[in-house]
Amino acid sequence: MKRVHGKTIKTITIDIAKCNGCRACEVICAAFHAKPQYSSTNPARSRIRVIRDQVADIYLPVYAGEYTAAECAGRDKYIIDGREYDECAFCRASCPSRDFFKEPDSDLPLKCDMCESDPDITEPMCVQWCLSHALVYEEREVAVDKVTAVDEVDIGLKALADEHGWPKVMDAIGRMREPLPE
């Protein structure tokens, strides 16, 4: 059975040609998330970083995404308009290969939360502080097809069974499954 429902997607469009490299986004992000709020600032704690290379004229704001425990096995390089971007430049992960998006004291991963707060604010602070409009906030509704998600699990399990056989897969699920509540 298909159940379709709406979901709000929060996006920040990043226009790197408009970035003036000032790092106000880093400053206000760190201050907003400080406890108590605004009691300190520190770009090292920011969930947005401007990757900068003034020799190559690169100014690239990147938001903190998911934590990943492992580095990528292979890396990519991007060359855009003659500028060569670092192999991890566009990646949002908090990852062992670089010191972005980690609390400097604890190394715990940081992730952009779009400044969700109570009371709610209109736009993430980095967007509000970017008077160059390199960062533009947008919300849009998307339809989410839940059945598709279930189908994906089916496909995944089938693939595993094809490779390892059902007994092995069942055994693994049994071992990994959290105990049911008493």
Partner 1 sequence: MRYAETGFNLEVDLTRGSIERVATNPRDTEQLLGGLGTNARLMWDRVPPEVEPFSPENLLVFGTGLLAGTPAPGCNRTIVSAISPQTKLFAFSIMGGFWGPELKHAGYDKVVIRGKSAGLVYLWINDDKVELRDATHFRGLGTLETAELIRQELHEPMAQVASIGLAGENRVFFASIEQGRSSASRQGLGAVMGDKNLKAIAVRGKKDINIARPATFIRHCNDALKYIEIRDKNPIPGVMPILAGLGSPQEMRENDEQWHTENFMWGNARHRRKGFWTEQIHEKWTNTMETMRTRLLSCHNCPLKCGAAISVDTRICSYMMKCFSKLTYTMAAMSDLDFGLKIAQKATEHGVDAFSAPQTMAFAVELYEAGILTDADFPGWPSDPEGRFYWLLDHIVGREGIGDVLADGTYWAAERIGKGAQAFAHNNIKKHEQLPLKLGMLNPIYFLMYSTGEKINITQIEGNFPQTPFPTKEEREAFVKDWEHVPDERFKQWFLDWEMRGENSIPNYPPIDATSEIVHWQEMMHYVDDSVGVCAGLSSFPLKPPYHLHNWPSIISAGAGLDLDEAGLKHVIRRTRTLVRAINILRGMRRTDEKPPDDHWKYRFPELETKLLDAYYRFKGWTSDGIPTRATLHELDLDHIADEFLRRGILKEEEEDAAPATALGAASASDVTAGAGGAA
Nearer to partner 1, 43 or 169 (CB): 43
Nearer to partner 1, 16 or 161 (CB): 16
Q: How many CB atoms lie within 10 A of CB 86?
A: 16
Only one residue has tokens 């990852």, namely 95
Residue 44 is given by DSSP the state G
Q: Which residues contact 139 (CB under 8 A, 6 or more apart)?
A: 8, 9, 10, 11
Give least dist CB 69 to partner 1, A.
Answer: 22
Q: Which positions lie near partner 1, rule CB under 8 A?
A: 20-24, 27-28, 31, 34, 36-45, 53-57, 59, 81-83, 104, 129-132
Give least dist CB 29 to partner 1, A.
Answer: 10
Nearer to partner 1, 8 or 54 (CB): 54
Give least dist CB 146 to partner 1, A.
Answer: 41
Q: Residue 14 CA to chain centroid, in angstroms? A: 14
Separation of alpha carbons 17 and 25, rounded Å? 16
